[in-house]
């Protein structure tokens, strides 16, 4: 099993990685230097690391095409065939009846769905690229010396081994005060310019709020949850950014041609897997309802959807939440 990544996941779910001896004074340390004690060593990586923005979900540039191995560009004609042909219909029929009705309304006969998704995927990529290059220009830095700052929430790795965080330019890039624009995370910028949809998932609420125990009733009881939400300034800012983009009808909210299928919806259809995260409506402050995973679409505004992974559902129920829906 060969790998060049610090963290990888096999098709069977086995997690593995590859590291090398740590560095000391600009050179590789010796075995004695990396051995701290009987159960600790210092390592580094000679591989690249992926970063997945917290709270953000853009259209997919490419994804696993059903029955194939490896990612396939959404520009590939086989995706058009998928959405217009029997393979897509087969995957759609795996969804519950209410979700099927909703998705059929979105998909129509499937024509142009892949092209629409590919268009917004590339637009999202180009928007992020412009932001990074603009920050490099402001900092007068090159690819050799430009640095990023990461702010992590409760979980800091996803199932693909990517770092989960809010990302922005590091202040060390700038002499004196950094321009105000560079203090804004790329996550928020992508939401504000309409390049991305929000995707808020518990327990990654806010990197600046400490969650030592995501099962603490002070956090997961209905009363505790809503009190906690009032402190989540990063989440509040992200929601406001989405509202602004929608009101201006920019990016995925374009009045004439909006994004038709969300990234999460494309992934679900391609896999033929039902959504499994219950949803809290952030627009219904004080509610104790957990909406059935397949009814996420009944919450109209994207920024009001707060997703709860299945591993936490029973604990939320014991803390006073009630299931609503199918």
Cα 206 to Cα 152, 154, 209, 263, distances in angstroms: 8, 8, 5, 22
Closest CA to 156 of 199, 211, 216, 195: 211
Residue 2 located in a structural domain: no
List of residues 6+ apart from 65 with CB closer than 8 A: 72, 76, 78, 79, 82, 270
Task: Judge if 27 and 57 occupy the same domain.
Answer: no
Task: Judge if 60 and 39 occupy the same domain.
Answer: no
pLDDT range class, residue 2, cuts 50, 70, 90: very low
- Average pLDDT value for residue range 151-163: 86
CB atoms within 10 A of CB 135: 23
Task: Judge if 31 and 133 occupy the same domain.
Answer: no
Task: Judge if 21 and 125 occupy the same domain.
Answer: no
Task: Judge if 246 and 258 occupy the same domain.
Answer: yes
pLDDT above 90 (res 69): no
pLDDT range class, residue 163, cuts 50, 70, 90: confident
Task: Judge if 23 and 104 occupy the same domain.
Answer: no
Residue 163 located in a structural domain: yes
Task: Judge if 19 and 113 occupy the same domain.
Answer: no
- Average pLDDT value for residue range 141-167: 89
pLDDT above 80 (res 26): yes
Task: Judge if 178 and 301 occupy the same domain.
Answer: yes
Task: Judge if 187 and 243 occupy the same domain.
Answer: yes
pLDDT tens digits for range 282-301:
999 999 999 999 999 999 99
Residue 99 located in a structural domain: yes
Task: Judge if 148 and 221 occupy the same domain.
Answer: yes
Cα dihedral 268→273→278→284 (10° resolution): 40
Residue 156 phi, psi (nearest 5): -120, 5
For the chain, give the mean pLDDT: 92
Range of the domain at 31: 8-48
Task: Judge if 102 and 245 occupy the same domain.
Answer: yes
Task: Judge if 138 and 249 occupy the same domain.
Answer: yes
Amino acid 5: pLDDT = 64
pLDDT tens digits for range 83-94:
999 999 999 999
Residue 287 located in a structural domain: yes
Amino acid 1: pLDDT = 42
Total tally of structural domains belonging to the chain? 2
Residue 3 located in a structural domain: no
Tokens of 62: 């490419």
Q: How many residues does the chain have?
A: 326
CB atoms within 10 A of CB 217: 14
Residue 102 located in a structural domain: yes
Residue 96 located in a structural domain: yes
Residue 294 located in a structural domain: yes
Segment among 100-104, 284-288, 322-326 with least mean pLDDT:
322-326
Crossing angle of the two packed helices 97-107 and 263-271, in degrees rounded to 10: 120
pLDDT tens digits for range 196-222:
999 999 999 888 788 889 999 999 999
Residue 148 phi, psi (nearest 5): -105, 155
């Amino acid at each position: 099993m060969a790998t060049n990544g610090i963290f990888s996941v096999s098709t069977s779910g086995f997690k593995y990685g590859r590291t090398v001896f740590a560095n000391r004074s600009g050179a590789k340390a010796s075995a004695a230097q990396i051995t701290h004690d009987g159960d600790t060593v210092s390592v580094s990586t000679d591989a690249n690391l992926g970063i997945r923005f917290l709270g953000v979900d853009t259209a997919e540039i490419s994804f696993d095409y059903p029955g194939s191995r490896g990612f396939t560009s959404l520009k590939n004609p086989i995706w058009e065939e998928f959405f217009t042909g029997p393979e897509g219909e087969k995957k759609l029929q795996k969804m519950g009846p209410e979700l099927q009705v909703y998705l059929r309304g979105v998909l129509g006969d499937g024509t142009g769905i892949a092209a629409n998704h590919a268009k917004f995927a590339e637009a999202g990529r180009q928007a992020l690229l412009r932001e990074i290059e603009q920050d490099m220009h402001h900092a007068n830095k090159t690819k050799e010396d430009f640095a990023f700052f990461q702010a992590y929430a409760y979980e800091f790795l996803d199932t693909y081994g990517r770092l989960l965080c809010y990302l922005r330019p590091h202040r060390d890039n700038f002499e004196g005060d950094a321009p105000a624009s560079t203090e804004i995370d790329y996550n928020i910028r992508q939401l504000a310019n309409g390049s991305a949809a929000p995707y808020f998932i518990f327990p990654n609420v806010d990197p600046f709020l400490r969650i030592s125990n995501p099962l603490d009733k002070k956090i997961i009881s209905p009363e505790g949850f809503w009190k906690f939400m009032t402190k989540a300034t990063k989440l509040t800012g992200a929601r406001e950014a989405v509202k602004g983009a929608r009101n201006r009808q920019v990016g995925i909210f374009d009045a004439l041609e909006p994004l038709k299928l969300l990234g999460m919806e494309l992934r679900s259809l391609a896999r033929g897997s039902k959504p499994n995260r219950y949803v809290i409506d952030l627009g219904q402050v004080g509610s104790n309802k957990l909406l059935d995973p397949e009814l996420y679409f009944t919450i109209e505004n994207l920024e009001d959807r707060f997703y709860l992974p299945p591993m936490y559902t029973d604990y939320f129920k014991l803390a006073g939440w009630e299931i609503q829906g199918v």
